[in-house]
Structure 1
């Protein structure tokens, strides 16, 4: 069986002002699994979940963030889950060199 990656859905992208962060954890699903935290981020009015081994994030409320995410679940209200290592601060190219 051969996979055709051209038919795969492209990753969804999000960007906006980080309005709130609510962290829960640590969680451990089974013995030997490392602890993880569930961060619920409110970005431009939408809620996104981000699973991380760190209790604190590198982004803060008031930052403009950018990320890739997937919609998970089979119900009407799908959970929006941010991909691992894709969350970061948005840098406006026109303002990049003006801070020096």
Structure 2
């Protein structure tokens, strides 16, 4: 199913997209990934699969698991971790943050 179809299905069921998807939050907690970075990644993920020509055609059977994969592999290169294990946004992350903060 496409991301747009999945979003419609989630809304119709009265569910949340990722905020109650424990595997994402368990992973983020395990690696100390800040919540705001997870939420930024979801905005970028949503934008890619809703607005991108190639992304709009992409289908997955489990979009939440796909998002977890995107977080684990940092598909969008939004953050980096320093030698002390602290996260910070990359240039791509800062740009995405500006874009999505202004859109909110």
Would you say same fold, with TM above 0.5?
no
TM-score (structure 2 length as normaliser): 0.24
CA radius of gyration, larger in: 1
Where is the strand percentage greater, Structure 1 or Structure 2? Answer: 1
TM (norm. structure 1) is: 0.24
Structure having the higher helix fraction is 2
